[in-house]
Amino acid sequence: MRSFLFSIIAFLITTAALAQPKNIRKWADEELLRKKDIRNAHTGICIMDAATGKYWLQYQDDKFFTPASNTKIFTLFTGLELLGDSLPAMRYAEDDTAIYIQGTGDPSFLHPDFSYQPVMEKLTQTDKRIWLAPALIRNKRFGPGWAWSDYADYYQPELNAWPMYGNVARINITGSAYTVSPAYFARDLQLVREKAPEEVLADRDERSNRFILHYRTDDRASHDFEVPFITGGNEQLVQRLQDTLRREVGLLNTPIRGPLLKSIPVDTLFQPMMHRSDNFFAEQILMMCSAMLGDSIDSRKTIRYMLDSTLKDLPHPPRWADGSGLSRYNLITPRDFVYVLNKMYKKYPKERLLPLFPSGGKGTLRTYYQQLPGRLYAKTGTLSGCVALSGYIVTRSGKTLVFSVLVNNHDTTSTVVRRAVERFLLKVANG
């Protein structure tokens, strides 16, 4: 009997060993760790079998890295845990003569990506006086550690309690002609046209909503831009609401208490946040979660709550600064990413979870992993000197692997690093 048990144990150990490719560390060395352009970088790799919890490869997976937009994996998990099935559109209260409204951070209000607009429907259909209550917001207009000089770049809109239009002006330039959406921005934001001999672009003054269009008179092509506008305080928000609703809106002095009006299903926001790496959506998700947790809007409160509760068992307590990964204050280990990804994989149906991530050949992976459509689902991350990729791989034999590859302080191009990571992971998937 004893010899039979030893045989079974030996068989299981042998089977587990055979499930893990013997060459996996060799592949990492050849394609990534000893590659001429990358070998001096700071690299971490963690790969785990989701079914068994066994690690296939751990290389500096306990070291901290700047993860760039891989931070959105933490944000996605937070949204899945706290937001329920639909976004909180606003808080409101009503009496016989008035409706009182307060922002909760929902970024979908009048955003062109979302046709369902329950707040707009409610406010346009009521004949009561509308009063805006100020939200108790702790967030500043930019996240901690963000680049101040990126104020006019499409990927860094300002953050506030009641976003409108995604907090960007959408500008089209064709030759010397231009259009602006929403239309009243053309009047209120004082657009100025200037000739530029080399490129067509849209810019904005640092401290005012004065937009500058650079155009070429010989260029008849159509160019589209999204340029963040300065959101200002509650008075400016009231003015934007009045211009949009075409009716008077009053301003209260104190916040209100009241029920939540829900808006779009959460996955319709999570997916574009992950697929196109939308920083604005990511930041507003943490703010909405804070509004659900209490009376104030404070991303730091949401982060503290998650680290003290659902994520209290992370292998290496991270420095988690923002929702998008724009901040270089973020420091997270590859093993932490695998922990969170595995936690999501066990808790949420894969039919829902996996499509939230870009797959091979789609989204931010549209030019990568085209050999693995439907077999690799992962979040990219890029900052100067930083490349990250974390997610799930389905191997040729049908095993699901949870992985994180983080590369910091490289002195080559991001494309070179991404292609090296791609070659390595293709061998893992097909080996």
- 50/240 Cα distance (integer angstroms): 49
Asked if pLDDT for residue 50 goes beyond 80, the answer is: yes
Return the number of other C-beta atoms located less than 10 Å from residue 11's C-beta: 10
Asked if pLDDT for residue 12 goes beyond 50, the answer is: no
Q: DSSP 3-state assignment of 60?
A: coil
| Residue 216 banded pLDDT, cuts 50, 70, 90 | confident
Whole-Å CA distances, 330 to 145, 280, 388? 9, 17, 13
For tokens 């149906």, name the residue. 349
Asked if pLDDT for residue 5 goes beyond 70, the answer is: no
Whole-Å CA distances, 357 to 269, 360, 373, 418? 12, 10, 12, 17
- Which pLDDT tens digit goes with each residue over 352-370? 999 999 999 999 999 999 9
Q: 107 preceded by cis ω (within 30°)?
A: no
Token pair listed for 152: 């006019």
- Which pLDDT tens digit goes with each residue over 166-191? 999 999 988 878 899 988 788 766 66
Asked if pLDDT for residue 47 goes beyond 70, the answer is: yes
- Which pLDDT tens digit goes with each residue over 369-392? 999 999 999 999 999 999 999 999
Strand order through the sheet with 201-204: 192-195, 211-215, 201-204
Q: Are 213 and 199 in contact (CB under 8 A)?
A: no
Q: Which amino acid is at 91?
A: R
- Which pLDDT tens digit goes with each residue over 310-351? 999 999 999 999 999 999 999 999 999 999 999 999 999 999
Tell me the domains of the chain and their CATH numbers. Answer: 22-80+274-430 (3.40.710.10), 87-265 (no CATH)
CA angle in degrees (0–180, nearest 5) for 346-352-357: 90
| 277 dihedral zone (left: phi>0; alpha: psi -120 to 50; beta) | left
For tokens 């319709």, name the residue. 268
| Residue 201 banded pLDDT, cuts 50, 70, 90 | confident
For tokens 């209100």, name the residue. 256
Q: What is the bridge-based pairing of β-strands 192-195 and 211-215?
A: parallel
Give the lowest-confidence range in 203-212, 328-337, 389-398: 203-212
Q: What does the pLDDT read at residue 10?
A: 45
| Residue 215 banded pLDDT, cuts 50, 70, 90 | confident
Q: What does the pLDDT read at residue 18?
A: 47
Return the number of other C-beta atoms located less than 10 Å from residue 222's C-beta: 11
The dihedrals phi and psi of 49, each to the nearest 5 degrees, come to: -80, 120
Whole-Å CA distances, 79 to 51, 224, 281? 25, 31, 11
- Which pLDDT tens digit goes with each residue over 106-161? 999 999 999 999 999 999 999 999 999 999 999 999 999 999 999 999 999 999 99
Asked if pLDDT for residue 11 goes beyond 60, the answer is: no
Q: What does the pLDDT read at residue 175?
A: 80
Q: What does the pLDDT read at residue 234?
A: 96
Of residues 293 and 5, more confidently modeled = 293
Q: For all residues of the chain together, what is the average pLDDT?
A: 93
Asked if pLDDT for residue 280 goes beyond 50, the answer is: yes
Q: DSSP 3-state assignment of 256?
A: coil
**Selection from 253, 263, 291 nearest residue 100 by Cα:** 253
Question: Which residues, in sequence order, are CB contacts of 284 under 8 Å at separation 6+?
Answer: 105, 106, 107, 159, 163, 323
Token pair listed for 1: 């009997």
Return the number of other C-beta atoms located less than 10 Å from residue 62's C-beta: 14
- Which pLDDT tens digit goes with each residue over 31-45? 999 999 899 999 999
